[in-house]
Chains A and B, each alone.
Chain A
Amino acid sequence: MNFNDFLTMRHELMLTLLALVVLIIDLNLHNRHKHYIIPITLGLFFVNLLVGFIPEGSNTLFGGMYRTNPLLIMMKNILNIGVFIILLQSVTWLKKEENREKISEYFILLFSTLIGMNFMISSGDFLMFYLGLELATIPVAALAAYTHHQTKSAEAGIKLILSSALSSGILLFGISMIYGSTGSIYFDTITKVYANTPLQLLAFIFFFSGMSFKISLVPFHLWTADVYEGAPINVTSYLSVISKGAAAFILIIVMFTVFSSLAAVYKNILYLIAVLTMTVGNLFAMRQKNMKRFLAFSSIAQAGFILLGILGGNVMGMTSVIYFVLVYIFSNLGAFGVVSAISTVTGKESMDDYDGLYRTNPKLSLLMMLSLFSLAGIPPVAGFFGKFFLFASAASGGYYWLVFIAVLNATISLYYYLLVVKAMFINKNETPLAFFKSDLATRAGLLIAGLGIFFLGFWAKVYEIISSLSYGIMQ
């Protein structure tokens, strides 16, 4: 392995370097000047984002433990874009007095989890996969407990770390059975010998249960709402968008490669879980009054839609999942960005506080409406195309009833998304939230999310690029 080979890991290497640089800068700054870290980190991360887009071929490192190809790089770039928007949106919150000493912690923990996700996506064997998964979840628990003087934040942290530790235990038990029955932990070897024996089926079920915790599929979703509500709002948006997106990426890779010989069996499981996840997520979302809880249940329902693409089981399925995650990042970050901007300035998080918001803060209301329409899948915006491709791939696999249930669920979801829109535009309120002006970074973050929602739908090139890259992987 020479130096050039080593550089193919540039996504992970640059992030590691970035985390170290932030740590060193933080050590050398006086307490009064800690906020200088924010623009420096944002700038460096933007460079990292741009460098990530330099095209690159396929490669395998460390004897097959780490592999990379254009599609995986595309996934990492999508995550990078999402993290950049989140960093922009969290500037106002980080500048608050109570967070001054902990600014660098936020960045370092965030970058550590992103490194973990990148390694997880690139993993070529279960050891690397497990290491990446743990690196992606443990720091997030610390992030969820970030505001340690608040009881809710600590509660969210403990709920997240305990449920993720349990789920990793279940997942590992599955991996140990896979190792026992195949004698290898490498994806390539396992794919060749994996069969339909009872032990291997059981191993798959354990593995899938563990993964379901991570993307919060019903019936493994119970931690989601509590953690999302208790964690600081920017950490919540990270959890719901980046963590979930990365888990969806790795799930689709593993399903399509390692467990491809089990397709006939796992499709039945996925069918049932997809129906349950969409329905339960939607029904619980209807009765939420807290915006963070509301978005938590809406994100559970969205995870159910992702399973439709995996069920499709062809190149179109893979493409549609990646495209859907890309669209979902922009739409959910638009919604979370607005909630975050309002919560940081006023501290209000309840849906009732949004009554009459349009009269005082028209721009925020419009962006919120756009993102919610995109999440619901209303035609002109990107969310419609994301859902459309998912449904199309499931239909191409012959799952017409599932598509019918999914369309029904999309209609139900429209009801509760419109509740928020109604609160902002129609509900009368004597004392709506006062007008406020967000700072530059927040506005930039919201603007990028809004533009993404609006233009991704019309710019078919994105879908074509993802599709052509997926062909290379799926043959």
Chain B
Amino acid sequence: MIQNIPLSYYLVISTLMFFIGIYGFLTRRNLITMLMSVELILNSVNINFVAFNRYLYPQQLQGHFFTLIVVAVAAAESAVAIAIIINIYRNFKSVDVENVDEMKY
């Protein structure tokens, strides 16, 4: 069961997720997909917290609490972001970052 899986497996997964998120954020041209990449980053953080808590400090629950709060805040963040994306869609008739370039140097 869980005892047979070492902590490092979880850390490798979470690190991979983090960098896939960063990569997606930098390369994707669709605003919704960029938002999904950010969610990926936040979820990698959650895996980190839960794994650390379960394996290294099982007598406390700080990591679990942190995860719950991060999930709640991420939901609020995407709510605001999607509201703004809808606004963008009304203005530009597209959710592509290539079009959202009115201000550049």
Asked whether, in the complex, the Cβ of A148 is within 8 Å of the Cβ of B77, the reply is: no
List of A residues within 8 angstroms of B103 by Cβ: 152, 155-156, 225-226, 229-230
Asked whether, in the complex, the Cβ of A161 is within 8 Å of the Cβ of B45, the reply is: no
Asked whether, in the complex, the Cβ of A148 is within 8 Å of the Cβ of B87, the reply is: yes
CA–CA, A161 to B77, complex, Å? Answer: 8
A145 contacts the other chain (CB 8 A):
yes
B6 → chain A closest CB, angstroms: 14
The chain A residue sitting closest to B65, CB to CB, is: A127
Given contacts A131-B73, A165-B38, contact A176 B45 (CB under 8 A): yes
Partner of B73, one of A134, A145, A175, A176: A134
The chain B residue sitting closest to A128, CB to CB, is: B69
List of B residues within 8 angstroms of A127 by Cβ: 62, 65-66, 69
CA–CA, A175 to B18, complex, Å? Answer: 14
A294 → chain B closest CB, angstroms: 12
Interface residues on chain A, number (Cβ under 8 Å): 43
Stretch at the interface among A166-174, A264-272, A452-460: A166-174
A180 contacts the other chain (CB 8 A):
yes
CA–CA, A151 to B87, complex, Å? Answer: 9
B105 contacts the other chain (CB 8 A):
yes
A212 → chain B closest CB, angstroms: 15
Given contacts A154-B84, A165-B77, contact A131 B31 (CB under 8 A): no
Asked whether, in the complex, the Cβ of B80 is within 8 Å of the Cβ of A161, the reply is: yes
List of A residues within 8 angstroms of B65 by Cβ: 127
Asked whether, in the complex, the Cβ of B48 is within 8 Å of the Cβ of A169, the reply is: no
Asked whether, in the complex, the Cβ of B52 is within 8 Å of the Cβ of A158, the reply is: no
B79-104 near A? 1/0 per residue, CB < 8 Å: 01101110110111000000010111
Partner of B84, one of A161, A166, A183: A161
B56 contacts the other chain (CB 8 A):
yes
A473 → chain B closest CB, angstroms: 25
Q: B7-30: which have CB < 8 Å to A?
A: 18, 21-22, 25
CA–CA, A158 to B100, complex, Å? Answer: 9
A396 contacts the other chain (CB 8 A):
no
List of A residues within 8 angstroms of B77 by Cβ: 134, 138, 161, 165, 168
A383 contacts the other chain (CB 8 A):
no
Asked whether, in the complex, the Cβ of B42 is within 8 Å of the Cβ of A145, the reply is: no
A128-165 near B? 1/0 per residue, CB < 8 Å: 00110010001101100100111110111111011001
CA–CA, A229 to B105, complex, Å? Answer: 11
List of B residues within 8 angstroms of A158 by Cβ: 31, 81, 84-85, 88, 100
Residue among A141, A148, A165 having the largest count of chain B Cβ atoms under 10 Å:
A165
CA–CA, A226 to B103, complex, Å? Answer: 6
Q: A155-203: which have CB < 8 Å to B?
A: 155-159, 161-162, 165-166, 168-170, 172-173, 175-177, 179-180, 183-185
Asked whether, in the complex, the Cβ of A169 is within 8 Å of the Cβ of B84, the reply is: no
Asked whether, in the complex, the Cβ of B49 is within 8 Å of the Cβ of A179, the reply is: yes
**11 pairs of residues in contact across A and B, judged by CB atoms under 8 Å:** A130-B69, A151-B91, A152-B102, A155-B102, A158-B31, A158-B84, A161-B77, A162-B25, A162-B34, A166-B25, A169-B38
Given contacts A148-B87, A159-B100, A179-B66, 12 further A-B contacts (CB under 8 A): A127-B65, A134-B77, A142-B84, A156-B103, A166-B38, A169-B41, A170-B41, A172-B45, A176-B48, A183-B57, A184-B62, A185-B62
